[in-house]
Amino acid sequence: MRHGWRERHLAHPREGRFGHFGHEEGRGHRRHGGRLFDQGDLRWVILSLIASKPSHGYELIKAIEDKVGGAYSPSPGVVYPTLTLLEDLSHIAAVSAEGARKAFAITPEGEAALAEHEPAVKSIFERVASFAERTGRGGSPQIVRAMENLRLALRLKLERTRPTDEEITRIAAALDAAAQAIERD
């Protein structure tokens, strides 16, 4: 029987799915010559941020973006599966919902896991701070995040069903209009 990444990760938590800058292994990108997050690190960053303040996914994306000085913004396709994993591990629990947004708070199990891995978590945040200092505030995290959101929306749309000819025309027109608006600026 073939196991997915979640089953492997639950069985071996240090063998995470995410590698370079939180992207899937084999598809990650190196920026500024280094690797920001090792496998499983993003999980500790998110858990630590939730421990300091209950948050929903978008707030976590923004908080990570701020911690890295704007040089990296995790995509929703990375953050939300990590939240699901942390919830499955009973490290976080949903505390409220604003429409479709669920806020999460740390659980006693999550606090214990964070305390147990405190040296590693501290090291991750030191590396993040060092990375932010080295890279400065180059680029626009808002644009990177928007591009990732677009990529995810397109992928999800194309994975669910084959778009009709009308949908294909509408999507292509929207993308062309966005490209033309960017070129004008």
The full DSSP string for 69-102 is TTS----HHHHHHHHHHHHHTTSEEEEEEETTEE
Low-confidence ranges of the chain (pLDDT < 70): 1-35, 97-99, 135-141, 144, 185
Name the strand (E) or helix (H) holding 152: helix 141-160
pLDDT at 20: 35
CA-to-CA distance for 81 and 89, rounded, in angstroms? 12
Kindly report the length of the chain.
185
The Cα-based distances of 115 to 47, 56, 119, 139 in angstroms read 11, 22, 9, 35
Residue 30: what are its φ and ψ, rounded to 5°? -95, 135
**pTM exceeds 0.75:** no
pLDDT at 144: 66
Please say whether the dihedral angle defined by the alpha carbons of residues 120, 125, 129 and 132, taken in this order, is positive or negative: positive
Q: Provide the β-strand partners of residue 103.
A: 96
The pLDDT value given to residue 90: 95
Q: Which of 133, 46, 112, 115 is nearest to 82 (CA)?
A: 46
Q: What is the pLDDT of residue 94?
A: 92
pLDDT at residue 34 in the model:
52
Interatomic CA distance for residues 58 and 80, integer angstroms: 9
What would the pLDDT profile of 139-149 be if each residue is shown by its tens digit? 566 776 777 78
Tokens of 27: 């598809």
Three-state DSSP state, 107: coil
Q: pLDDT at position 182, please? A: 85
